[in-house]
Chain A
Amino acid sequence: DTAVSQTPKYLVTQMGNDKSIKCEQNLGHDTMYWYKQDSKKFLKIMFSYNNKELIINETVPNRFSPKSPDKAHLNLHINSLELGDSAVYFCASSQARGQAVDNLSGLFFGSGTQLSVL
């Protein structure tokens, strides 16, 4: 199926641990993103990569390190997890600029990874 898929769906871990979330899209999009959704459902962009290059880094602590081995993958590694990192993390992708037409414009989201730091 064509989609944005991210794993794992649930992640429960202790404070201080290091964890990774993986994301893959097979939509042929050039740009991928990580968003964080807090308990109040507010959605905030964290990172954006275009063709494996970082183009947006929105004041995210450097404990968070995205890695894009190719344009179809964007993984998120988090070091020294803190209680405040508990949230739902969404991966998304979009077409590169100038190519968005009709219902292919906009962001396509994965189903989210619920991270709980204990």
Chain B
Amino acid sequence: GEDVEQSLFLSVREGDSSVINCTYTDSSSTYLYWYKQEPGAGLQLLTYIFSNMDMKQDQRLTVLLNKKDKHLSLRIADTQTGDSAIYFCAEGSYNFNKFYFGSGTKLNVKP
């Protein structure tokens, strides 16, 4: 079955770049997503990448996709304390409207 894996924790200093990594197994995935969850809140869609793209940039966020290795990463430039949250990688296929999430990476940004 589908499997999405992420490391559980990442700690960076304010102003540094953060890189959160994710691996997935379903090669039929159409979209790959990054979601952010702040304490006590639901998941907020940050960005996504279509499976035929290698890179997508959106302001401080850069998503890189290595389809051959089934590896997805999210880079946050100039990380701020407000970026502290849990970041979920997810893969989705529109064949059956299925989405599978990783376990989440807790990003801690130290002042």
Contact = CB atoms under 8 A, between A and B. Distances in A.
A99 B32 CA distance: 16
Contact of B97 (A4, A48, A108, A110): A48
Interface stretch (B10-18, B20-28, B100-108): B100-108
Nearest to B101: A43
Interface stretch (A13-21, A69-77, A90-98): A90-98
Given A56-B97, A106-B45, 10 more contacts: A41-B86, A43-B43, A48-B97, A90-B42, A94-B97, A103-B48, A105-B31, A106-B99, A107-B92, A112-B41
A31 B104 contact: no
Which of A40, A41, A56 has the most chain B CB atoms closer than 10 A to its own CB?
A: A41
Nearest to B103: A42
B44 interface: yes
B98 A105 contact: no
A118 interface: no
Given A106-B33, A107-B45, A42 B95 contact: no
19 contacts: A41-B104, A42-B103, A48-B97, A50-B97, A55-B96, A94-B99, A96-B97, A97-B94, A98-B94, A100-B94, A105-B48, A107-B92, A107-B99, A108-B45, A109-B43, A109-B44, A110-B42, A111-B42, A112-B42
A20 to B, nearest CB: 19
Interface residues of A, number: 30
Nearest to B95: A97
Contacts of A50: 97
A55 to B, nearest CB: 6
A56 B43 contact: no
Which of B41, B88, B98, B99 has the most chain A CB atoms closer than 10 A to its own CB?
A: B99
Nearest to B46: A106
Contacts of B97: 31, 48, 50, 55-56, 94, 96-97
A95 to B, nearest CB: 9
Contact of B48 (A97, A106, A110): A106
A78 interface: no
